[in-house]
A and B are shown apart, each in its own frame.
Chain A
């Protein structure tokens, strides 16, 4: 065996509220040269802490036990000065959010050169920097040596981070969520770059991510973390075809894929590190839970190339039978409710003392209609104008062109009539916490549209709020709490309840699931689908995630650089994309399993 990194029984605890709370417990993993191991877990699973503790980069006050073997040394016991010689030279690291991970006030070249200089000495090393920038695919690198991080695009910044990590040709690359926050097409490029570099440099890669679909194509091995413990690990191939742990199976089933008919959701949410259940951590949310699951943590049992820590592992299933293909039906017919004609939005350029800069149009000439009960998906990368489109329809921005709700142009309305019409268009934001005033109780938040609409007696108001809370699958008792005490999924449901309180015709969903975990996302999407079905609600679903949009939408509009480049029924669009950009989006999205 040619193991580059061997982690043995690694545990890490962080001080929280005056005591040490275990975040990662008893982690074991081995990565061989040229192999990519995906460490997968939802937020709160401890995956990032696990990655950081390998290089002992934990925040101050953290405690670490266990062994980390790299190049014949146990990093867990190495003194700081010796460890410093290992960091960067034997193991490079890449982090999430490269804009924050790069020093804003030093040039990119000097930061890359530093990575080399720390271990090899020497001066500016321009030649080595150029070589590295070329390796990670920065075009015209020689001209960009004097540039600062903010002058690069998001994807390029992550390439720069990679160049920095590779400066000393390390044996191991630790990549902590390197693709999250990037547009899908860019994320895919970065993923492919890492996979290629691993092959060319025969490097071991530890790839930490919350998104199984990202690593599906490239990982050699997978390790699933749930609430600080490994639940399943082994060969990636077998893991993706035959997951044995109920959590792995459920999580794989909750990923939105192109052309999927129904998403499976996992009830409940991840436990906080302080409140992890005894026994199997997943037991309270598990559909196949037995009484003894809650008594003790299950020992690992091996199944061919994978191992799962479960008393009742899932049987091997025929994947093809499990995939529910999209039923081939004729597109639904709708009565037109909203019409958008030649909609353009121009953000005023910055007006300084020396004249105004030319205004850049954020959205150009968008026209479409939306039927009652229809869901229109709007996909595009960040900066494509998709949020602008949503906000213009909601009358939050000045725009050119017309927006007609039931044949009445908003521009023709004023005062109370306009207010009343506008109320019929509601929205759900990306970040549920940001969309609620932290100092109002849940009950007050949901009651706000009702109260603004007119006088309702206090008792009727309370009853209405409770009905709405139950409608979105929440306990009516939540009304007395503040938003800060809710989980992300619960908070987003409260946001939906608030939108429903205004009894709208159309809800604009602006990235409603992108701040949520995969398992929560599936539940929310299913809830939205049910509500639309029973209430005949129309949605405009704005997202960067093509698979999510295709799961929800009757029709899809593809936005690219401020223009709608393609608009078609979902099935037809997937079957025969007419625009190259659409085709690229579809290709980058998670594909159906077992096909």
Chain B
């Protein structure tokens, strides 16, 4: 597959998932959580295109409302993480050396922990709802980006064009705004794309472990977990859709990010 094709496929897939999460749920007229014991565990049919779960709920409705729950938490979280990471990284990159040193040591210690572990730790401690999840995911997933931005800022800061601007009286703020952010724009967009994928993955993993989106709301992760609880009954129609949706989201983020990287990689 060439890079252009990959980029287009990634964007198309991403757009499709976005529509599924934010437009399709509007079409749901019935209560997705309504229980119909008479129709429990039906495989896909004309009446239930994606079958039903062990409580007889329509899996299609569940998937759609789960998509909304997943995306409405993951996307703001990714945005928050992105903003925090860029701000912290730029602050490190522009601050005097000793401030940078202290801030980076702090970051090292935080980076020493995989984000899912920190997430689990906090998810166990704070009351979980959609807003706390956004804050949790957003405030915990940024250190890697911060380090990248800082390293990039430090590398760019010593480049000749920044020195030339400083010779003409450019302030730090001017250098950051005009030079650093513009040069780093491709790196930032690419990593922002990857971050959306990461946020969806982290949220799904948390939900899968029972510490993400809380019942009665469902999400891709929790749907997969509840299917796994009755896996002995071979409910393949309950496992495939949520799993494939997470897969498709990560694939979309990855294809888009790699496509952009290939496109801009040599434009430095």
Contact = CB atoms under 8 A, between A and B. Distances in A.
Interface of A: 394, 396, 419-420, 422-423, 425-427, 429, 431, 434-440, 445, 448-449, 452-453, 484, 495, 498, 502
14 contacts: A419-B169, A422-B167, A423-B167, A427-B163, A434-B159, A435-B164, A437-B178, A437-B182, A448-B178, A452-B170, A452-B174, A484-B267, A495-B164, A502-B167
A419 B166 CA distance: 9
A462 B268 CA distance: 26
A420 B168 contact: no
A439 B169 contact: no
Interface in B152-185: 159-161, 163-170, 174, 178-179, 182-183, 185
A396 B161 contact: no
Contact of B185 (A423, A427, A431, A439): A439
A449 B168 contact: yes
Given A396-B163, A438-B268, A495-B164, 8 more contacts: A419-B169, A423-B169, A426-B167, A429-B160, A437-B179, A440-B178, A453-B169, A484-B267
Top 7 A-B residue pairs of the complex, sorted by shortest distance between their CB atoms: A435-B160, A449-B168, A419-B169, A439-B182, A429-B160, A437-B161, A434-B160
Task: Describe B's contact surface by its main secondary structure.
Answer: helix
Most A CB atoms within 10 A — which of B161, B182, B267? B161
A438 B164 contact: no
B182 to A, nearest CB: 4
Contacts of B179: 437
B185 A502 contact: no
A438 B267 CA distance: 8
Contacts of B174: 452
A362 B47 CA distance: 82
A268 B185 CA distance: 34
A43 to B, nearest CB: 19
A534 B161 CA distance: 27
A350 B238 CA distance: 60
Contact of A437 (B166, B168, B183, B267): B183
Contacts of B166: 396
B160 A420 contact: no
Contacts of A420: 169
B161 A434 contact: yes
Contacts of B165: 448, 452
A452 B160 contact: no
B239 to A, nearest CB: 44
A452 B164 CA distance: 12
B167 A396 contact: yes
A465 B201 CA distance: 50
Most A CB atoms within 10 A — which of B160, B182, B183, B267? B160
Nearest to B174: A452
Contacts of B168: 423, 426, 448-449, 452-453, 502
Interface of B: 159-161, 163-170, 174, 178-179, 182-183, 185, 267-268
A562 to B, nearest CB: 22
Given A440-B182, A452-B174, A435 B169 contact: no
Contacts of B161: 434-437, 445
B267 A425 contact: no
A347 B108 CA distance: 28
A434 B268 CA distance: 10
Contacts of A396: 163, 166-167
Contacts of A452: 165, 168-170, 174
Contacts of A484: 267
Nearest to B184: A439
Contacts of B159: 434
Contacts of A426: 167-168
Nearest to B156: A437
A484 B178 CA distance: 18
A427 B163 CA distance: 9
A392 B195 CA distance: 43
A571 to B, nearest CB: 33
A423 B165 CA distance: 10
Contacts of A448: 164-165, 168, 170, 178
A31 to B, nearest CB: 38
A224 to B, nearest CB: 32
Most A CB atoms within 10 A — which of B159, B164, B166, B185? B164
Nearest to B164: A435
A453 B168 CA distance: 8
B64 to A, nearest CB: 41
A188 B244 CA distance: 66
A443 to B, nearest CB: 14
Nearest to A482: B267
A416 B183 CA distance: 28
Most B CB atoms within 10 A — which of A431, A440, A452? A452
Nearest to A502: B168
Given A434-B161, A437-B161, A427 B167 contact: yes
A425 B9 CA distance: 52
Contacts of A445: 161
A422 B182 contact: no
Nearest to A510: B160
B183 A438 contact: yes
Contacts of B178: 437, 440, 448
A445 B168 CA distance: 12
A395 to B, nearest CB: 8
A427 B178 CA distance: 20
Nearest to B180: A437
A356 B232 CA distance: 66
A437 B182 CA distance: 9
Contacts of B170: 448, 452
Contacts of A440: 178, 182
Contacts of B160: 429, 431, 434-435
B163 to A, nearest CB: 6
A514 B136 CA distance: 54
A422 B169 contact: yes
Contacts of A439: 182-183, 185
Contacts of B164: 427, 429, 435, 448, 495, 498
A22 B160 CA distance: 35
A12 B180 CA distance: 41
Nearest to A495: B164
A440 B180 CA distance: 11
Contacts of B183: 437-439
A383 to B, nearest CB: 19
A438 B167 CA distance: 19
A549 to B, nearest CB: 21
A422 B164 CA distance: 11
Nearest to A395: B167
A498 B165 CA distance: 10
A446 to B, nearest CB: 11
Nearest to B159: A434
